[in-house]
Structure 1
Amino acid sequence: MVMQGGRGDSRVRRLLRAGFTDPKAAAGLLDSPVLSAVRSDGVLIDALGSAADPDLALRGLARLAEAQGDATGGPARLLETVQAAKPLRDRLLAVLGSSEALADHLVRHSDQWRTLAAFETRDLHPGPQEFEAALAGAEDPDALRVAYRGALLTIAARDMTGTTAFAEAAAELADLASATLAAALRIAAGEAPRGAASCRLAVIGMGKCGGRELNYVSDVDVVLVAEPAEGHGEQTALQAATRLAARMMRICSDTTAEGTIWPVDANLRPEGRNGPLVRTLTSHLAYYHRWAKTWEFQALLKARPVAGDPGLGEEYCRAVAPLVWQAAERDNFVPDVQQMRRRVERSIPAAQLERELKLGPGGLRDVEFAVQLLQLVHGRTDPDLRSPTTLTALADLAAGGYVGRQDAAALDASYRFLRTVEHRIQLYRLRRTHLMPEDPAELRRLGRSLGFTSDPVTELTRAWKRHTAVVRRLHEKLFYRPLLDAVAQLEAGQVRLGTEAARQRLEALGYADPAAALRHLKALASGVSRKAAIQRTLLPVLLDRFADSADPDAGLLGFRKVSDALGTTPWYLRLLRDEGAAAENLARVLSAGRLAPDLLLRAPEAVALLGDPEGLRPRPAQALTQEVLAAVGRADRAEQAVAVARGVRRRELFRTAAADIVGAYTPGGTPGHEEQAAALDTVGDALTALNAATVAGALRAATAAGWGDTLPTRFAVIAMGRFGGHEMSYGSDADVLFVHEPRAGEDEQLAARAALAVATELRRLLQLPTSDPPLVIDADLRPEGRSGPLVRTLEGYAAYYRRWALTWESHALLRALPVAGDPGVGERFTRLIDPLRYPEGGLGEEAVREVRRLKARMEAERLPRGADPATHTKLGRGGLSDIEWTVQLLQLRHAWSEPSLRTTRTRPALAAARDAGLLDAEDARVLDEAWVLASRVRNAVMLVRGRPSDTFPSDARELAAVARYLGYEPGAARQQDTGSGGQMLDDYRRTTRRARAVVERLFYEG
């Protein structure tokens, strides 16, 4: 009966204060007959309130009391003991309040609660022998399952009451697993004694079992090795050992009315599930010597004999240990391990990524991979680092100076927290899961189990996010700091590892010339100066980025050159130290190719742009032009003026390239096509603006040099091609036309001579030798091409176009756009050419055929000899020319009636044609995708090689750097990889092949 009135309300309030979420139901349960003996026990209510889930603990206690039969003394005996014995009360209620599965087990085996009352201080930290003794009476599989759950119950009780911490609980779980495997093997051998007598079988624990850091619920990874017993043949022994091992695994894995223990997973064996379940030691070693992959040696780091023949198990571990500690000498060792970690992350469903405690970013695997990588690299020469247990290995790394003590302490704390959270989640239903729950009630129980009591859900979430952030940050950094610390001390002889060991580490990181890299590191970080101290804090982050790039050597060399140039400048190292983004951005820029580092080394002060969030945004075109014109106006000579203009261009070219490399134009993670296209448009606009400003500056200098302020004609520069389309790449020439209009009252011949002199001087100034990427002025698209006058008047252009204009000239004029000089002349030129490029009624059929013939002839004649037509970005199949001519033909035919087509830009024209129904959405998408990809490849090649090209590089490192710019993971462009330059080139061919099919249909047939 539930009490009514004030007394009942008081009780409900007390239950609420104790942590019950449904106090009325709890009060009703306390008043039930089965719990009547303890309904008023305030001590019990307080004890229930200490449980992770008081409601769950109370329900479990009621169920357990109901299950007590006369043979066990009935409910009264249980409740009397619980009331009288605080240790039992704390243990039992802690288990009942955290594990529904163990409550179910106690209800089924209602006398096992007594084990929680029985264990003494000497039993608080049992090892393998104690667990083997606990399981010794199990003579059949079901008895083993019951005994296993009973032992698990005691581990959980110690864990949930704080008697043991995470590390001890994980070790006990691993020891219990070892004892369980031994018991299962004993039962299997008892079922087939003759077979068991013919072989020696050793069970090698792997993974968390081998490392003595097992979860509550986990597959138990094993490798099985066998040898014939004396007097028996190898084949017979292997067959018997295989049957014995398979039966042992089934005993542990099968599910019966008593549940299951855990799956035994032998897939870490040689050849995985395709290989024999059991091998001899000789067969194991032959496989590891010849066929094993990097990850298999990483797995063997945790190998430990856990059951079966102990002598054979030890022999196996002694034999494979040297192979483990030589693994870091394998080709591509570090990239292989890093790639494996990335593959694990990519395998997580997107909906689960943020909840993954184990595999997600900042999760347990980040800690384990980082620690194992450090062990495998440094453990070759330092045997103290060879522990299979993650936290022990981390402590050893810190003690040896391979990891900073603060970093190690932070990583230790975060790993313990995340593993404890994982344990608590699994303990509830004894299910294998690594996902943070979403249900508020489950989060509340989880938070309370970790000691968060005032606002469990909020406190838990905050702590979880904090620890994952710590793990991710340190995971990114950990592999590189120990190397730097060693190198920094080499001169003083204070480091245990010599130059050869440091060289090997650099080689493992991917440096092709580790001796040179070592010299750079010593020059940067040796000594006791403040500069060296700051470098020692910076270089781990930079080395991380360099090692993750296509050319680590170039990145490190570039950093040394920049540091040599700016090292004495007070703000330089302070900027890199205090603005984390600046150091990381600098590392990425220096290791991405030649163009950006070359620009930076000619103007090292541009490093300042990398630390300012606004620094990587492109400047407005008008502001750039004003800056250039003002600087030119202050110069004494034309050559000095153009040098100033080039200086501005150099700085802006670096700003654009750096922003492009670090992804400033595509914030928010991995960009899709629309984001990549928008970034490409931003680059095109920025390059067009800075080149237009440079041309404007050269025009001002050329005018002032010969004519001062008295030029007898108005002069304008008309951009053509990619310049006019705002689609310039890093290596594009500037196609232009020069046009002038004599001032009123001026002699026309004098005006013509002045205009020619200005155009000629402008070209001369921009062609002066320079170490910067040149801005080539190309005026060959003018009437009559190279044979025609360099400059014409507006009237001259009008007369020519009226009488002589050819279809190709109308075609070329589609991109004409005034960019410098007299704006009125530019505007009048635009009005003049509009009827040619947007002809009323569209192109006639003969003109359309002419355009097609021109395109076909260009394809046949202009593709460079030896170039692959499938991968040439400009003239190849489905490349830029294909798509642009297709779009421009649509403009020539329809822009007279469809004003939205009157644009100099390819992508807006393509979108306008789609919106006007001139091509369907899918064709437009295919063409846009190919145009963006080919344009990005051109930019990538220029960034990587420092010179323009329309073909993919043949050099493996350059090809890898292009792949990185395009968003492929490290290794995706290595020729030796099956998915290789492979994957990038296949994607390019597939994309452009689809585009070519559309071009064939729309351009040549439509």
Structure 2
Amino acid sequence: MADEVESADADRARLAVVAASNALGDFLRAHPEFEPALTEDEDAGHARVREASPFELNAAWKANLLRIAAADLTGATDLKDTSAALSRLADAVLVRGLELARADCPGETRLAVIAMGKTGAEELNYVSDVDVVFVAEGNLDLATRQAARMIQILGPATWPVDAGLRPEGRHGALVRTIESYEAYLKDWARTWEFQALLKARPAAGDLQLGLDWLASVQPFIWGAADRPGVVADIRDMRRKVAESVPAAERRFEIKLGPGGLRDIEFAVQLLQLVHGRGDAALRVRSTLEALDVLVAGGYLARRDGEDLADTYVFLRTVEHRVQLQRLLRTHRVPDGGEPLHHLARTLGYTTDEGFLAAWRAHATTARRLHEKLLYKPLLDAVTRVPTNELRLTETEAASRLAVLGFADPASALTHMKKLTEGVSRTATVQRALLPVVLHELADSPEPDRGLLAYRQVSDKLGSTPWYLRLLRDGGPAAVRLARLLGTSRYFTSLLLHVPQSLRYLSDNADLKPRPRETLAMGMLQAAARHGEATAAIGAVRAIRRRELIRIAAADLLELLDDQGVGLALSDLTDAVLQAALDIASRGIADAPPISVIGMGRLGGRETGFGSDADVVFLHAGETDAERTAARKIVEAVRTLLGAPTADPPLVLDLDLRPEGKGGAIAPSLAAYRRYYADRARLWERQALLRARPVAGDAALSEAWRMIADEVRYRPGGLSEPERVEFRRVKARVDSERLPRGADPNGHTKLGRGGLVDIEWAAQLLQLEHGEDASLHTTRTVPALAAATAAGYLDRADFEALRDAWEFVSRVRNDMTLARGVPRDDLPRSGPELAALAQTLGFGEDTERFLNQYRRLTRLAHDAAHRIVYGD
């Protein structure tokens, strides 16, 4: 009975091999004496190799291929087992080849054969080069002759033996000592050579010497990621490999082309090199094993790891089947005909189309995940973390935190322990992320506060599936989050209430401010879902908070310039006012048309993070009932937007309305017209230069605009008494409005060369040349630019005013972002000044920052003085 089963197994194995491989089938028919090899065990197969003469080596090798292919094709082994069996066969071949070479080149010397590439990783193909390097001790000439003879013997009989991965490639010495390897790796090796060493292992010869060599090169392998540009080097190498395949052949290539095996291998090896510096568990040779430990260590999402492993197994299996057909080294899928039919059948597909569809799907997965992993910014961030900071004991961590700049290392260590304690997936991923987070925080102005905020965000979102996945895989999200939390109390306070908004950090497109129309529509739709006014405005203010987070992040990450910040914040305020006006008008009987006019920085679309909203409300009502209704609506808008809630208030300032604080809270358009025709002073005309409709009734807004244009853009410029009045008021502003004790050279708003200086210069030019329509803008820098283009302003003065306006605006915004509350005066010294300088890109050089500020504002003040006073 046992003989019958064994015979049946042999028949099944023979049929499977003959069906899959023309070459092995031909060999079996020519040498039926090798048919027992189909079912023999590995020891017997290797014994054939160990006992083979040079003339018998080829047959012994093919007999072993028969054995391995039979187990593979009948399903007795999987891909991993098959590749490992082929690699063990390669080891046996190398051992026998070295024995034969020593017989031809007798003498005593220590020589180790190091398997590299797929052989070293135990991932060998049926037909492949066997990559090796040689290390020796003693008689190097003899060792070189033995190594060269081994290559000569094995190449024609088995796999080609390729020593091209040795130092200096084919131009370098075939055999080197350990010391020679170390010297080369220290001074000359390129990134791809460290990448190749990931798979190295002793395979034949003096195995102890091989192990000594392997131990000596380990520090070089795992220190490679400390070298500048290592990530870029690997990316560039992958690009060159893909481009080496002719364009016409790429779609048939399963190894080198896009979506091929190299996409997976390069991504995995880069992750190993970068993260393996601090995590010894990642120091494995095979791709599938590396995927397992990367997932287990939290460096790779489970789903991504599974998808990559499935795709890798599929592509390698296709590669095996293609090579088995004729025992030729190929990585090309046939483009049609019987070769493609044969391949599809051996893979278990009933149709060519079924196989091709599966291949396309796997190739797409390989390419997608390759791009995701090889180009994720977290890799670049990890390489900036010194190796000695990646894995520290508690004592070492406390000491290192102090060196990094944490003022309270004990508290920081407590936060770290809370984030990483336990064996949960969350703790595992945090252990992988924290070195990057800490290193990024160390470069921020407030690392202690940033780490506390990071823990608070993690406590809120740690159990949310997308949170850590976003930080690990979401582009620059982790690095950006750490930088923002350590830089801005304003951003942090906003984010802690809606931590879900950190999703914006993964993609620059998500940090692009939304247009006013989009915001207004979203707010109106959100408000419409709530019948009660408080709930409706709550929905609007929640949208405002999320948009403030977006704009603050974009500003701090330098994705928006100062003009862009002002426009974005102004658009946001416009949309909020429109929604609030709509909510406040609900159910109000006799409500007349109402328009909201933005003044000051809002009107100029130059709103800052700490700005109030200067506005004037107008209505078109004529009856007492309409006036009463308008007043109720305005008061409701102020109350709704200013009420204390978890969302930041929008404070409305109505002091620029006709008659100021003593005037009607919502004047009619007719009263507004009368006031500006009869009683408005020059500074009130001047204020209209920065006024524009921001919300409310379109027809009423247009009627207001016609009145305003007649007042602010009068032809003929200012009369001499008006110029005197303008200068008098400016002098009073300079002397009286600066807060007591404030440094006139360090106040961003009212100081010399500050925002008011520049704005008044622009406004005087607009008042003097009101008939020129090119100056009809509410924005400061465009007004100055138009005046320069029209010849009213010297270009050097324009550049001085523009540069100061942009720099001072950024300083003012960054002070608010850093502290979380508005501030106009520069810190005079100490940590706040240092933090501001750092945020603005001056590092720790506060003196250089102050010199830059003083230089720009001095030039702007001089230019503004010439414009206002004519000297």
Q: What TM bracket, shorter-length normalisation?
A: 0.5 to 0.7
Aligned to 1:724: 603
Per the alignment, in what secondary structure is the counterpart of residue 713 of structure 1? Answer: coil
Q: 1:891 to 1:505 in 2, by over 3 A?
A: same
**Which string of whole-angstrom CA distances, capped at 9 and with x for unpartnered residues, describes residues 792-837 of structure 1?**
1111111111111110011000011101111111111010111111
Map 1:458-497; keep pairs closer than 5 Å: 473=379, 476-477=382-383, 479=385, 483=389, 485-486=391-392, 497=393
Aligned AA (2:761):
T
Aligned to 2:139: 121
Map 1:605-644; keep pairs closer than 5 Å: 605-644=500-539
Gaps (5+ residues) in structure 2?
1-104, 106-136, 144-166, 190-224, 234-272, 287-373
Q: How many residues end up aligned between the 2 structures?
A: 557
Aligned to 1:820: 695
Aligned to 2:576: 694
Q: 1:790 aligns with which of 665, 671, 678?
A: 665
Is 1:907 paired with 2:802? no
Q: 1:748 to 1:515 in 2, by over 3 A?
A: same
**How far apart, CA to CA, are the structure 2 residues paired with 1:632 and 1:988?**
44
**Which string of whole-angstrom CA distances, capped at 9 and with x for unpartnered residues, describes residues 109-165 of structure 1?**
xxxxxxxxxx9936999xxxxxxxxxxxxxxxxxxxxxxxxxxxxx99998434448
**Which string of whole-angstrom CA distances, capped at 9 and with x for unpartnered residues, describes residues 314-346 of structure 1?**
xxxxxxxxxxxxxxxxxxxxxxxxxxxxxxxxx
Q: 1:594 to 1:625 in 2, by over 3 A?
A: same
Is 1:999 paired with 2:831? no
Aligned to 2:180: 168
8 Å contact kept, 1:720–1:812:
yes
8 Å contact kept, 1:551–1:957:
no
Aligned to 1:490: none
Q: CA RMSD in A?
A: 3.7
Per the alignment, in what secondary structure is the counterpart of residue 509 of structure 2? Answer: coil
Q: 2:458 aligns with which of 563, 567, 583?
A: 563
Is 1:860 paired with 2:742? no
8 Å contact kept, 2:494–2:545:
yes
Deviation of 1:515 (Å):
0.8
8 Å contact kept, 2:275–2:382:
no
Per the alignment, in what secondary structure is the counterpart of residue 869 of structure 1? Answer: coil
Map 1:337-356; keep pairs closer than 5 Å: none
Deviation of 1:612 (Å):
3.5
Map 1:360-439; keep pairs closer than 5 Å: 402=278, 404=280, 406=282
Aligned to 1:648: 543
Map 1:10-409; keep pairs closer than 5 Å: 121=139, 160-164=172-176, 168=180, 171=183, 402=278, 404=280, 406=282
Q: 1:600 to 1:999 in 2, by over 3 A?
A: same
**Which string of whole-angstrom CA distances, capped at 9 and with x for unpartnered residues, describes residues 574-595 of structure 1?**
2222213222221222111201
Is 1:938 paired with 2:812? yes
**Which string of whole-angstrom CA distances, capped at 9 and with x for unpartnered residues, describes residues 598-621 of structure 1?**
101011111222224421111110
8 Å contact kept, 1:656–1:687:
yes
Aligned to 1:514: 409
Q: 2:437 aligns with which of 539, 542, 550?
A: 542
Aligned to 1:776: 651
**How far apart, CA to CA, are the structure 2 residues paired with 1:847 and 1:630?**
48
**How far apart, CA to CA, are the structure 2 residues paired with 1:612 and 1:364?**
20
Q: Which has the higher contact order (CA 8 A, sep 6+)?
A: 2
Q: 1:752 aligns with which of 627, 638, 641?
A: 627
Aligned AA (2:572):
L
**How far apart, CA to CA, are the structure 2 residues paired with 1:606 and 1:479?**
27
Q: 1:469 to 1:817 in 2, by over 3 A?
A: closer
Per the alignment, in what secondary structure is the counterpart of residue 864 of structure 1? Answer: coil
Per the alignment, in what secondary structure is the counterpart of residue 716 of structure 1? Answer: strand
Q: 1:567 to 1:163 in 2, by over 3 A?
A: same
Deviation of 1:680 (Å):
1.3
**How far apart, CA to CA, are the structure 2 residues paired with 1:409 and 1:649?**
51
**How far apart, CA to CA, are the structure 1 residues paired with 2:229 and 2:186?**
21
Is 1:501 paired with 2:400? no
**How far apart, CA to CA, are the structure 2 residues paired with 1:700 and 1:400?**
58
- TM-score normalised by length of structure 2: 0.59
8 Å contact kept, 2:377–2:475:
no
Is 1:664 paired with 2:570? no
Aligned to 1:23: none
Is 1:703 paired with 2:585? yes
- TM-score normalised by length of structure 1: 0.52
**How far apart, CA to CA, are the structure 1 residues paired with 2:514 and 2:475?**
23
**Which string of whole-angstrom CA distances, capped at 9 and with x for unpartnered residues, describes residues 611-670 of structure 1?**
2442111111011111112222222322222222111110100111111122233xxxxx
**How far apart, CA to CA, are the structure 1 residues paired with 2:469 and 2:490?**
25
8 Å contact kept, 2:757–2:864:
yes
Aligned AA (1:999):
A
Aligned AA (1:544):
H
Aligned AA (1:913):
A
Is 1:869 paired with 2:735? no
Q: 1:632 to 1:359 in 2, by over 3 A?
A: closer
Q: 1:157 to 1:890 in 2, by over 3 A?
A: closer
Is 1:989 paired with 2:871? no
Aligned AA (1:539):
L
Is 1:924 paired with 2:798? yes
Q: 1:820 to 1:714 in 2, by over 3 A?
A: same
Q: 1:531 to 1:937 in 2, by over 3 A?
A: same
Deviation of 1:1003 (Å):
1.5
Aligned to 1:734: 613
Aligned AA (1:900):
S
**How far apart, CA to CA, are the structure 1 residues paired with 2:391 and 2:665?**
63
Per the alignment, in what secondary structure is the counterpart of residue 544 of structure 2? Answer: helix
Per the alignment, in what secondary structure is the counterpart of residue 810 of structure 1? Answer: helix
Is 1:829 paired with 2:704? yes
Deviation of 1:360 (Å):
6.9
Gaps (5+ residues) in structure 1?
1-85, 87-118, 126-154, 173-211, 217-356, 366-396, 411-467, 487-496, 666-678, 973-979
8 Å contact kept, 1:878–1:994:
yes
Aligned AA (1:916):
A
Deviation of 1:994 (Å):
1.0
Q: 1:362 to 1:842 in 2, by over 3 A?
A: farther
8 Å contact kept, 1:477–1:540:
no
**How far apart, CA to CA, are the structure 1 residues paired with 2:712 and 2:527?**
35
Aligned to 2:497: 602
Per the alignment, in what secondary structure is the counterpart of residue 593 of structure 2? Answer: strand
User: Share of identical aligned residues, percent?
Assistant: 44
**How far apart, CA to CA, are the structure 2 residues paired with 1:399 and 1:566?**
25
**How far apart, CA to CA, are the structure 2 residues paired with 1:873 and 1:739?**
32
Deviation of 1:474 (Å):
6.0
Aligned AA (1:560):
R
Aligned AA (1:866):
G
Aligned AA (2:688):
L
Deviation of 1:469 (Å):
9.5
Aligned AA (1:921):
R
Per the alignment, in what secondary structure is the counterpart of residue 968 of structure 1? Answer: coil
Q: 1:398 to 1:605 in 2, by over 3 A?
A: closer
**How far apart, CA to CA, are the structure 2 residues paired with 1:816 and 1:553?**
43
**How far apart, CA to CA, are the structure 1 residues paired with 2:275 and 2:669?**
80
Aligned AA (1:1004):
Y
Per the alignment, in what secondary structure is the counterpart of residue 847 of structure 2? Answer: helix
